[in-house]
Structure 1
Amino acid sequence: MAPQRLARYLLPVGAFLALLYLCSLRLHVPLLACVQGGAPCPWWWWGEDVPPRQPGTQPPPEPPEPTAALCKGQRFQMGRLLRAFQATLGPHGEILLDPYLAGWAELGRFMESLGPAFGLVLHETRAKLAVLQELRDGPSAPHYTTAQAMAAHELARGLVVLTPPAPPGNPPSGCRTLLRLHRALLWLQLFVGGLGEGGDPARVCARAYHRALAPHHPWWVRQAAAVAFLALPPRRELLAALCLGDPGARGATQAQAELRRAAATIARVYNRTQDLFTTHGMLGLP
């Protein structure tokens, strides 16, 4: 067998086996022990989403959350997620990129709490967030305050490649990067909404993935994802790890209400972003 052909087979098989191994860890490491006190899981952690602090400095204080008494020190807080995505929608139809990025940072912490099934997605998500943040901090920053301004700027200057291939040396497109996050946002919105309706985490996550992301992934990635979802914890353990209330009946009802509210907020951001991409014919950016 030619080396190139062998590599084509070994790559998907290796990824599949790696994800299968991650799933097997679920049998030995309880999720709550992994995220207790907000500590990331050492067996799948892909790196911090904030720059390291200088020695001797203190992290900025975070606003208190309603659930703080239940889960003191928990990295993910539903209130921060809701506030960020609510602030993303400007009064005149704008999609403000700074709160959008802050909302995604909180979604990253949400994915951290879900275990190894989301490790690869989290890694790719942070790479895309870094691209958008670099554009926000770069010399063209005034054109990247809103998604609408970004689209107008990049389309006018030919930075958006509507049909492949991209010209050599073409800088990263904010619109293309945002589209990848946009697709993942639909997956998470459907997943959070399904949890809010009382669904089983693994089944809800798989359905959301097949609707939102599977059409954009090759066959072997879809198969590996199906195995990875088996690593999701049972519903009761998941809600407790996400700090969404007591595990009792009353707490479960409160948790479902919070999840539905979060899904509705994310959906409003998704729908407005979908309208922007549809208007400019960019839903199929390569």
Structure 2
Amino acid sequence: MSYASTAATSVSIAGDISSQLHGGYAHPLARQWQAERQLTKDALGTAADDPNGPVIRTIRLLRQRFPQLYITADVCLCEYTSHGHCGILRDDGTLNNQLSVDRISDVAIAYAQAGAHCVAPSDMNDGRIRAIKLKLIEEGIAHKTLLMSYAAKFSGCLYGPFRDAAGSAPSFGDRRCYQLPPGGRGLARRAIVRDIGEGADVIMVKPASQYLDIISDAKELGRDLPIAAYQVSGEFAMIHAAAKAGVFDLKAMAFESTEGILRAGATIIITYFTPEFLDWLSN
């Protein structure tokens, strides 16, 4: 190419280049980045158990790549429903418990069949533990699938960071009609007893730090079962914020908070501090 032709090309490129849309897209990965990545949400949360969706594909991939890893799958619809609630709604906007239980139990079975060692329904619809257990038995996989119940899941302010990240905040109303009220100790105890009777293998209390008495109650009521406690995103964020403000040392407070949860009776702790704990313990 002559100098003159190169110069002419340079002059033309120096002008409006808005028509140049295909640069670098010869590679298939670069083309894939242009695809729509947002899950399609609808009233039934159909993407929750889509075999080509992120959860089922991830479970299968993790089982393949990390065969020693124990996989627990949270089961809910709020991330997949167009309204952001944890079940199927009636025309008047109230929760249809029976349809929600049927749908949640189908999703739980799909995750178990994909390879999850444990399914953990967090929707708080009445009767979902029994429905899931019966379907696990019917499908012949109850012997290899642990059923963890979010039996005592309280409503409140501590889920905010997670809901923002997951895009699962309700589009209207809130979840107080099917999550436990913060002062509802008696209702929490009743829910724990109910879910044990329906076949739960593990009982969950969520959040953890503000409900240490409920963890203790769960240990008393389910003395022969493991008790899980979920240190939620708001608890994690508060500890980080206070440490950043110089109130205390982050590492010391993180360990202190989980030691209190264990002391209350928890066998299992689910926490966003896990990556940091692994680093701290390895050092």
Q: TM-score, normalising length from structure 1?
A: 0.24
